[in-house]
Amino acid sequence: MAEVALRWKAEKNRGLFAIVDDADLPLVIGHKWRAHRVKGSHTVYAKTWTRNGTIFMHHLIVGRRRGKEVDHRDGNGLNNRRTNLRHVTHQENLQSCFDMRRERQFQAWYDEKLQELS
């Protein structure tokens, strides 16, 4: 596993880095990566510019498929290890986001109840 430092514009993105497999480091090392926060979301991705336009790190690593999106299994847009990336439909990607949000809400509720019992 390797960490790739990201450039930043906003102060809140300072110190961010993306995670890639050691085998994929040669693919990403020659680019200047920036932190990109999606509007209306808390998810941050790594993106760069090429002569063909903007490309996200996860697309560079696993490629793009017609009618599919790349899902980060753990919900962390900066975790670009191959075991964390998968091609899914848009509906599957939305379901994954919904499931992770519900799981986090349950975990917060559960942690609160444990503190009350302590």
**Burial class, 102, CB count within 10 angstroms (exposed 0-12 / middle 13-18 / buried 19+):** exposed
pLDDT: which is higher, 12 or 86: 86
Q: Are 17 and 78 in contact (CB under 8 A)?
A: yes
Domain ranges of the chain: 2-89
User: What is the C-alpha end-to-end distance of the chain, expressed in Å?
Assistant: 38
How far apart, in whole angstroms, are the C-alpha atoms of residue 102 and residue 100? 5
How far apart, in whole angstroms, are the C-alpha atoms of residue 55 and residue 14? 21
- The DSSP call for residue 74 is T
Bridge partners of 46, per DSSP, are 35
Helix (H) or strand (E) holding 98: helix 90-117
Whether the per-residue pLDDT at 93 is higher than 90: the answer is no
What's the rounded mean pLDDT across residues 91-106? 72
Residue 96 sits at the vertex; the CA angle it makes with 45 and 25, to the nearest 5 degrees, is: 35
Tell me what pLDDT residue 98 has.
65
CATH fold for domain 2-89: Homing Intron 3 (I-Ppo) Encoded Endonuclease; Chain A (3.90.75)
How far apart, in whole angstroms, are the C-alpha atoms of residue 118 and residue 115? 5
Q: What is the pLDDT of residues 30-82, one digit of tens each?
A: 999 999 988 877 789 999 998 989 999 999 999 999 999 999 998 899 999 99
Whether the per-residue pLDDT at 118 is higher than 70: the answer is no
Tell me what pLDDT residue 49 has.
93
Tell me what pLDDT residue 102 has.
63
